[in-house]
Amino acid sequence: MSEDSPTGGSGAPPDHTNEGDRPIPDSAYIAMHSDPRFVELKRRLFAFIVPMSIAFMAWYVLYVLMSAFGRDIMGTVLFGNINVALVFGLLQFVSTFGIAILYTRYARKKLDGNAVELRDELQNGNGGGDR
């Protein structure tokens, strides 16, 4: 392999680098992965993502099933040329943006502070240590 190869010529994958271009060894990532603060951060992330994903998929599947099997209901005209199907479709967009807004607020309040702290520790070379 040449020295210009992504593996640095040694055949081993390169270490990760931080903003200061200092390599972050894989062992630091492994240590950080078992840090209780990182585990709590992942738990908080999944506590939002899993229920919200299930709720959105259920809402989307309802829309698809109603479009396929509830044509009479979906075809009900509400006013003018606006029917239930169009309103359901538009509400898909509204719910998508609503979830994005909720996630942004949740992340600011419950995730970002801890994530920044852990990232800084990792980049400064003392990541994953027990406190």
Q: Return the higher-pLDDT residue of 126 and 3.
A: 126
Q: How confident is the model at residue 89 (pLDDT cuts 50, 70, 90)?
A: very high
Collapsing DSSP to helix, strand or coil, 66 comes out as: helix
pLDDT above 50 (res 81): yes
pLDDT above 80 (res 21): no
pLDDT above 50 (res 52): yes
**How many whole angstroms separate alpha carbon 91 and alpha carbon 97?**
10
pLDDT above 80 (res 27): no
Give Cβ neighbours of residue 15 (< 8 Å, ≥ 6 apart): 23, 24, 25, 26
Stretch among 5-9, 41-45, 57-61, 107-111 having the lowest mean pLDDT: 5-9
Q: Is-contact 53 99, C-beta < 8 A?
A: no
Average pLDDT of span 71-77: 92
